[in-house]
Each structure stands twice: as structure tokens, then as C-alpha cells.
Amino acid sequence: MDVNGDTASLKRKREPKDDTPSSLKKHRRRSKLPEDSGAGESASAQDDQQPSNSALQQINGGLEPPDASSQPPDGAARERLASWKVSKPMGGRMLDIDPIFSSDERYLIVTYNTSIQVYSTEDSLLVRRIALPVTRTDDATELVATHIVSAVLSKCDTDYLWVACSDGRIWHINWTSGAGAGNPFRIEAKKVLDVAVDVMEIGGQSDDVLLVLKRLTKSSAQIVAYNVKALSTKSGKLLHTYDESPQLLRSAAEGRLIVAAAKETVHIGLLKVRKLSSLDDLAYRFHCFNVPDLVTSLDIRHTLRAAKKGGFDLQSVDLAVGCARGAIYVYHDLLPKLPGEACGPSRAGLIQPKKYHWHRRAAHAVKWSQDGNYLISGGCETVLVLWQVETGRLDFLPHLSAAIENIVVSPRGASYAVHLDDNSTMILSTAEMRPTMYVSGIQSLVLGDRPSKESLVRRVWRPVEEIVAPLVAAANPRNPSQMVLCVGNGQQASLGGGSTSTPFLQVFDVASFHGITKHAIARTNPTDANVTSDGVPIVEPTVTKLSFSQDGKWLASVDEWQPPERDADALLTGSKTSAEVCRERREIYLKFWEVGAEDQSFQLVTRVNDAHHTGRTETILDLASDPTSSRFATIGNDGMVRFWSPRLRKRDGLAATGPDGQPLRSWTCSRTVSLPTHEQQDDPVDIPTENTARSGAITFSEDGSVLFAAFGPPSAADVVAIDTETGTIRDVVSGMFKGEIRAIRSLSSSLVMLSEDLVVYDIVSDEVLYNYSLKETSEDAKHLTQLAVNYESRSVALVAPVPNLNQGKMKRGARSELVVLNIEEDEPQLVQTFSHLITSVCAAPLSSGFIVVDSAAQILSITEGAEQAPLLQPLADLGVDGSDASGREALLLEGDASDEEMEDADQDVEMEHDDDTHAAVVAPQRLAEVFSAAPAFAMPPIEDIFYQVAGLFSTKPAKA
């Protein structure tokens, strides 16, 4: 924001200025434009002079990681800007990194793209979120694409975690306290590919040794060993260099064995020396052999035997390798098959493995069971496969919700942690294959850090690598902590096949931060193979619009599907192109759902097949909900506005009733208004033909009496005010839009219109209050420019991708900017750049803020003043984290046990576990509800308040 109010994506137009009314581009048909636009002028002139340099620095300087920056900038703008604040981001996308069990299996540590999150395995609650400043801005525009590559539990102190970032930063984090996230070690590396950690005895002292796989050139890498001392001095011991492009590194048996995989070869390193006096003594003998296919995953199982000279020796090593074409190769007892010690670093050629092939596509994860009799594998078939190694017998857990990414066997072997592609992780008990813990984040599309394991093999399709459309989301007015988002069947499933498919509705609770349910609101095939016989993914419908009715009892959705163009060859006639043929066969449904009161069920009430149609089905451009009654309105490409309202469903003239005798309703079109065709139609050049891209948007006025509909071809769109009672057109305003219409919103007497400009226009006084013009960006970026309006704080939030000349597509590295404007004031209230692309913004219901979802699947809350963000606080932040207390108790009990009563102590521990629920998680706003229910003089008796508070904090007895 400079003197002209410039932000990264907005450019302040000096308007309205002392121009003639004609330059305001306002042409009213009925009312004449008043000559005085003085008020707006003086206001804008005033704010032009306001210096706000510090804010500029905040935005453009980017000195700090924007993830963590929520403190207000200092300077002249502080007072005003301080009233809005951005919460810490919550959530994120689980990375393709094995989740980690704590050694006592009480916690599961999941690596997210921007944080490490610790969950309790008993009740699936988030215990701690350790944010990591993964993305750094090296200079104002260029983003370094960094991401976490590995997170491994420290072997010598299990309270610590080693987390490695691709740019060479390595954090040593105490996950029980969150300490250590601030100051990473830094090693010199072009790119870190993988890190393995093992404990070794160095100079008589056991210490963590990090084995780091670094990339040297495009197709060569080296393995370097570090310990803590070496990390601080940045001087590691080079162990091995190799030429194939490497991916994976694993170690086993306290560093006696290293396995590194590179495309179709596996390198195995065996520890040469037995006694280490310093890190420099560390040396391995490397062998390599070929695997028949590209390696995607591997797991080592080893047994040790007591060596003659004391200590232990490797007895046998079994290696399981999952490959990109679905086969799993098992190398039993690998050590004797390797060439002898004398040969030195050598190539063992091809060792014949045992082949297990069931997966159709890449085996994303392969793990040995604890006893070595079973292999557990998973892939994009969404089936967990259990192999009996001896017999090759298969056991399945079929049809999970999305592709399996990672599998981890718990330390005791009694449960599996399975990370799925739909941003969820569950723990399955091995006995009955039922989930005992489930964590599900926002399943919206993200811009991935690493290519999926599927992309190792060339496919007939290419995955989509950009986000082309905003995330369709809505906040439930009846339950303010709940959001509904349109998601797909996992990231990979929704990105295949050239276009996104999002047929699911995820109900996500922002306050408790977990996904509640997922409903299919369009056609899905969860149990079928989602590929055609040619190997092309089947595209499911995309939900394009979503809106709750004002009371939250109804939900309207619009979904679209059209056959892929490759199917259209036989259907071509005359001069039709295949795109036209497909458009003719488009299926667009407007659906109305009844939202269940308690159980958040969505029941389809009415499906309208061709809500808008001419000769064929036409796109529904926008959907709006009446803020005062249960009514929706749609605008279609056919130039019609339709109002939809519920009515009692009748059968033979009798009111139809449901099973409980409640009257059933159905939705019908209650009114159709045809928008006036464009005024300049007599101009022969400008006749809108069938193919002219027309855009439209609608919004109800705040009192529901007027519907504003904007419709037309680019640069010739009109805004029409329609009386919702009579359906008559009251007013037409033209020339407000430049380019394609993005959105229109109404706030008191003002209309906020977004196209290539952001125009705030007062409909009563008939003048333009503001006119911001967005900076020149690519076509894709325009699609992601969004607008939200909060009636409570009278504010408007505008979200736009920051223009990037090098990158037109919204791929990884794109950033967004958020601007909050108050309708009464000219100056933006808040301007902030986010390091991730913002895919959705909506007003938080019953609050004055906004909720933002970004392309890293994070949710941020933007709140005004002292208002509490409705987001979840991790248990640790709330101070009700059970880990400290119980940890101390456990220590004490251990002490006791060493004294005498071993048995009793065990029992105590058992009991401790039994009733160790995380005593009530109380959101601050709940407490606020109790205490600020009424002014102090009208408060209920103190006893009542006590019971209310006690009720909040006391846990309910577990159900028998």
C-alpha cells in the first residue's frame, strides 16, 4: 500500500475525481446522474495523503515468514489496522511421510506441510501443533519451493523428533513441549531428498546419527552422516556417492545397514567398523543391485544375533520393495546373496526376488508386520492388502475413502496407522480391522509439494498441477463452527483426467477441527475402479455453487458434468466441434437438500435437471440465498433469473407426509424474470451470439426486497434490480463492470461489484464510492479473485492472487493477498499477503470476521477487535493437555515400581489409562456464552453459573 493505496494486487484508481460524470461510466436509464460526486472525491483525496509506509514494508518486505505473522504493523496505521487480526493458520495437508507413533503408542505424530501435529491416539484430539516456517521468502517475489522431506523420531531420546526440510534445514524438536521449532540446524545441500536417523555408539556414547541423502546434480547424490556436533559445525562424513537419481533412504539395526533406493536400483550399505571413536570413523561397504521396476517404497526387516566378541551382529535382512507398476518384490535373507567383503563396492547385478503382484498401479506403501509373516501394502486402489508372505494368500480391507499413502505398524504391532490421500489418518486395530482413531483435515485441493508416486510411470493422462477454480465452500448459519466444502475423493482422484471432480461435501467443524462427515452430493463410484479400460480416470461431477438458506435448514447446490471430448468422435455431425458436442450433453443439476437438525445429514429434496436451458442445458452462473426467508435465486447463461422456494409437497391434492407425519416439502421455481437484453443490440457488430462468453452474478439485498442481477458479455454487463415481491425490474445500471463479472454483493445501500475492478456503488445516492482496479493478472488468477461480505462488521474481504509475471497458472508458489475494507471507510482495514494461494473466503456466521481456506489446506480466521477466533486451540495451548501431568505421574509410578509394588503399580497404570480422558475441551467462546449471557445486573444466580461452568468442564461418563 503506497500513497495511492496500492497493494500487491490492487491498484487504487483515483476515482471518483474531478472527472466528468461520463468518465464514471455510469449510464442510468431512468434516473439522472446527480452532478455532485463531491463527497467521494474529498474522501479519496484525504486518504491519498495518508502515509502508511510501514504497512508497505509489512507486505512487500516479507521479512518474516507470513505464516506466523499476525502482529499488527506499527506506524500511523496501527490503530486502525490493529482492530483486525489474522489468526494462526490451522490444519494443513498431511504429507506423504510416515506418521510416527510415540514409543508408548499414546500419541501419533503426523507431519503436515507447514507443521508437525501431535494427536492423542485415544480420543483423536489434537494435542499440539508445532508450526514450522517451511516456506521462506528469500526476496519479495521469488519463493523458494521448500518442503519437509522427512520426519523421524530420535532414537536416543524419544521425546525428540528430527525434521528435515528440502533446503537443508534440520529441526531437532521436542514434540512433548514444542521447543526447537525456532532455530534449525542448517547443512549445506542443494536439495535434501531424504533423511534417516539411527542411534550409534560413538566414542562410548550413544548418539543420534542422521544419514542425509543430498542431491548433487540431476542424477547423482551422496549420503552424508551427521551427529548433533557435526550439524552445528556443518561438517558431515561423506559415506557414499552414487549416480542414479535417488529417492529413498532407510537405515536399520542401529546403523548397521543403510538401504537407499534410486529408480530401479537399490544400494545397500553395511557398516564396516564395529567400534566408533568419532563420526569420521563411520564407513560403509556399499553394494547395489537392480530391481525389476521403479522403486516407490521399501521396508527392511532384520534380525540380530549375539556376536562372539560381544555386541550384536546382523543375522538376516529381509527387504520388501514396492514398485511403480504395482508389483512388490521381496528379498529374503539378503546378506548372503551380496558379494563378499573382498569385492569392495560392487554391483551385485540382479538378485532374484519373490514377486507379489496385486496392485494395479504403484504400491504406495509396503510394510512388514511385526512378526514378519505378513506384508501390508496399499495404493490408489483404496484397498489395504494383507499378504501372507509364505503362501501369498491375500486378505483385503477394501474400499477405503481414498488412495493409501503411508502405512505404519505400531511399535507393539497391534495397530496400523494408515495415511490416506484425502488428508486423513486413521489407526486400525489389527484384530478386528476397525478404526480406533481418525483424524481428518480439510480435504480441499492443495498444490502438492512432491509429485505423486503415480507419476513415476507415464500415463495416458496428466495430473492437473494447478488450481483453476476457487474452492466452493459455505459456512452453516445454524452452526457457526461448521463449514461445508466441496471436495473430491482424495487429491489424486480429483486431479486426474484433465479436470477436477469434486462430488463430495465435507462437513468440517472449525472449532474442534476435524471433518465430521462426507456426503456424496453428486454421482460417485466409491467402490468401482475409477478408470476406463483405456486407463483414463473417470471424471465425476464438479460442484460449482453452494449456498445455505438463511436459517440453515436448506442447502442448494449446483453440480456440472460433461462427457470428455475424447468420447465425442463418433457423435460429430456437420460442422460441430467435439467441444460443442460435449456441451450439448452436459448434465447440470440444481439440487436442494434438507439439512438434518442434529446429525448433519443432508437429504435430497428436489433435483432440478435443467434449471436454465435454451436449446440445451445452460450453465448456472450464480446462486444466491435470500437473507430473510427460505428462498434461493439462480441466474443462468440463458439470461434468466429464477427464484426457488419451498412448498408443501402434494400427492393427489393431499399433503404428503414423511414417516413421522411431518409435512414434506419440495422446491419449485416460483418466479422467472427475463433479464433485458443488452441495450446496444441494434449495433450490428455487437450482437451476442450463442458462443459469446457471458458472465453473471446475483445477490439479494440485505432485507431481501431487491435482487441485484449482473449479467452480460464482458464490458457490456448491466446490473438489474429486481423487486423480489413482484418480479418487476426496478432499475438498470450499466457500465459498472470491466471484463468478466466475478461477483456482486450488496451491503446496506451499497453494491460491491467485482470484475477487473472492485467497484463500490451506492444505489440510493447513485454514486461510485470507491473504484479499485485490480492489477493485470493472468486469466487463471482472475478466476481465483473472490469477494465476501460480512453484514455484522459491514466489511468486505477481497482475495486476489498476487500477480506473478513468470507464472500465469496458479501452480505452487503462487501467493494471495487479502484486503479487508469497511464499507464506511475508504482506507483498507487490513492488507495482508499470504504465502499460499487462498482458494476460498467466506464470512464467518454470527461473527464479524471471515474464514479463509488456502491452497495448503489451512484455515485462517480473520477477526475484528477482541473477538475470539472460532478456530480450535490445540489442547496444549488450552492448558488442558493431559500429557504433562500424566507424564509426571508415569515417572512417579515407575519410581514406585522400582521400589517394591510392581504389580500394583501396573494396575495403577492401567487404571490411569482407563479414566484418563482429556478432561473436557472447552472452547473459550463457550465460557464466554455463560458469562456474557446478560449484563452483570441481570445475570442468573451465581449458583446457576457455577453449575453451567461445572457442566462444561466435567466430562460425561463414558457410555457403557
Q: How far is the CB of 890 from another protein (least distance, A)?
A: 32
Q: How far is the CB of 348 from another protein (least distance, A)?
A: 41
Q: How far is the CB of 438 from another protein (least distance, A)?
A: 8
Among 217, 233, 527, 689, binds another protein (CB under 8 A): 527
Cell of 654: 393431499
Determine if 517 is a binding residue for another protein (CB under 8 A).
no
Cell of 277: 571413536
Residue number with CB closer to another protein (274 or 607): 607
* Contacts to another protein from residues 572-591, by CB under 8 A: 573, 585
Q: How far is the CB of 321 from another protein (least distance, A)?
A: 27
Total count of residues recorded for the chain: 960
Among 75, 477, 526, 627, binds another protein (CB under 8 A): 526
Determine if 278 is a binding residue for another protein (CB under 8 A).
no
Q: From residue 345 to residue 384, what is the string marking binding to another protein with x (rule CB under 8 A)? A: ----------------------------------------
Stretch of residues binding another protein (CB under 8 A), selected from 17-25, 448-456, 471-479, 520-528? 520-528
Q: How far is the CB of 572 from another protein (least distance, A)?
A: 9
Residue type, 798: L
Number of residues this chain uses to bind another protein (CB under 8 A): 35
Determine if 532 is a binding residue for another protein (CB under 8 A).
yes
Determine if 431 is a binding residue for another protein (CB under 8 A).
no
Residue number with CB closer to another protein (182 or 658): 658
Nearest to 503 by CA among 645, 420, 401: 401
Stretch of residues binding another protein (CB under 8 A), selected from 77-85, 267-275, 570-578, 845-853? 570-578
Residue type, 75: G
The DSSP-derived string for 663-731 is: BPEEEEEEEEEEPPPPGGGGSGGG---TTS--EEEEEE-TTSSEEEEEEESTT--EEEEEETTT--EEE
Determine if 566 is a binding residue for another protein (CB under 8 A).
yes
Place of cell 504391532: 413
d(CA 780, CA 804): 11
Determine if 533 is a binding residue for another protein (CB under 8 A).
yes
Q: How far is the CB of 538 from another protein (least distance, A)?
A: 5
Q: How far is the CB of 523 from another protein (least distance, A)?
A: 7
d(CA 528, CA 616): 30
Q: How far is the CB of 123 from another protein (least distance, A)?
A: 18
Stretch of residues binding another protein (CB under 8 A), selected from 334-342, 651-659, 850-858, 925-933? 651-659
> Would you give the DSSP letter of residue 491?
H
| Residues with Cβ within 8 Å of residue 910, at least 6 apart in sequence | none
Residue number with CB closer to another protein (571 or 687): 571
The per-residue b/e assignment along 329-342, b for 16 or more CB within 10 angstroms, e otherwise, is bbbeebeeebeeee
Q: How far is the CB of 529 from another protein (least distance, A)?
A: 7
10 Å Cβ neighbour count for 157? 12
Paired with 317 in beta bridges are 302
Q: How far is the CB of 391 from another protein (least distance, A)?
A: 24
Determine if 523 is a binding residue for another protein (CB under 8 A).
yes
The DSSP-derived string for 153-215 is: E-SS-TTEEEEEETTSEEEEEETTTTBTSSS-EE---SEEEEEEEEEEEETTEEEEEEEEEEE
Residue number with CB closer to another protein (220 or 430): 430
Paired with 162 in beta bridges are 152, 172
Determine if 652 is a binding residue for another protein (CB under 8 A).
yes
Determine if 567 is a binding residue for another protein (CB under 8 A).
yes
Determine if 434 is a binding residue for another protein (CB under 8 A).
yes
Among 339, 345, 372, 435, binds another protein (CB under 8 A): 435
Determine if 651 is a binding residue for another protein (CB under 8 A).
yes
* Contacts to another protein from residues 384-413, by CB under 8 A: 397-401
Residue number with CB closer to another protein (28 or 399): 399
d(CA 307, CA 708): 83
Place of cell 501431568: 885
10 Å Cβ neighbour count for 20? 7
Determine if 607 is a binding residue for another protein (CB under 8 A).
yes
Q: Which helix (H) or strand (E) holds 54?
A: helix 53-56
10 Å Cβ neighbour count for 349? 9
Among 538, 878, 922, 939, binds another protein (CB under 8 A): 538
Residue number with CB closer to another protein (400 or 799): 400
Stretch of residues binding another protein (CB under 8 A), selected from 70-78, 291-299, 561-569, 703-711? 561-569
Determine if 564 is a binding residue for another protein (CB under 8 A).
yes
Stretch of residues binding another protein (CB under 8 A), selected from 243-251, 461-469, 558-566, 871-879? 558-566
Determine if 563 is a binding residue for another protein (CB under 8 A).
yes
d(CA 302, CA 332): 10
Q: Which helix (H) or strand (E) holds 951?
A: helix 942-953
d(CA 144, CA 167): 9
Q: How far is the CB of 495 from another protein (least distance, A)?
A: 18
| CA distances to 67, 360, 463, 530, 532 from 497, in Å | 33, 17, 7, 10, 11
Among 107, 242, 329, 561, binds another protein (CB under 8 A): 561
Q: How far is the CB of 392 from another protein (least distance, A)?
A: 23
Residue number with CB closer to another protein (275 or 607): 607
Q: From residue 410 to residue 429, what is the string marking binding to another protein with x (rule CB under 8 A)? A: ----------------x---
Bond prior to 99 in cis (omega within 30° of 0): no
- For the chain, the 3-state helix, strand and coil shares in percent, each to the nearest 5, are 15, 40, 45
Place of cell 508415569: 890
Residue number with CB closer to another protein (38 or 398): 398
Paired with 288 in beta bridges are 267, 347
d(CA 401, CA 772): 44
Determine if 528 is a binding residue for another protein (CB under 8 A).
yes
Q: Which helix (H) or strand (E) holds 270?
A: strand 265-271
d(CA 645, CA 632): 7
Among 63, 342, 570, 764, binds another protein (CB under 8 A): 570
Residue number with CB closer to another protein (343 or 655): 655
10 Å Cβ neighbour count for 493? 22
- Measure CA of the first residue to CA of the last residue in the chain; give whole Å: 60
Residue number with CB closer to another protein (235 or 429): 429
3-state secondary structure 444-479: CCCCCCCCCHHHHCCCCCCCCCCCCCCCCEEECCCC
Q: How far is the CB of 668 from another protein (least distance, A)?
A: 13
Q: How far is the CB of 434 from another protein (least distance, A)?
A: 7
Determine if 655 is a binding residue for another protein (CB under 8 A).
yes
Residue number with CB closer to another protein (222 or 668): 668
Phi, psi of 790 (to 5 degrees): -110, 120
10 Å Cβ neighbour count for 654? 9
Among 307, 571, 911, 933, binds another protein (CB under 8 A): 571
Q: How far is the CB of 652 from another protein (least distance, A)?
A: 4
CB 402 within 8 A of CB 422: yes
Residue number with CB closer to another protein (12 or 612): 612
Question: Measured in whole angstroms, how far is the alpha carbon of residue 450 from the centre of its chain?
Answer: 15
Q: Which helix (H) or strand (E) holds 931?
A: helix 924-931
**Which chain residues interact with another protein by CB under 8 A?**
397-401, 426, 434-435, 523, 525-529, 532-534, 536, 538, 561, 563-564, 566-567, 570-571, 573, 585, 607, 609, 651-655
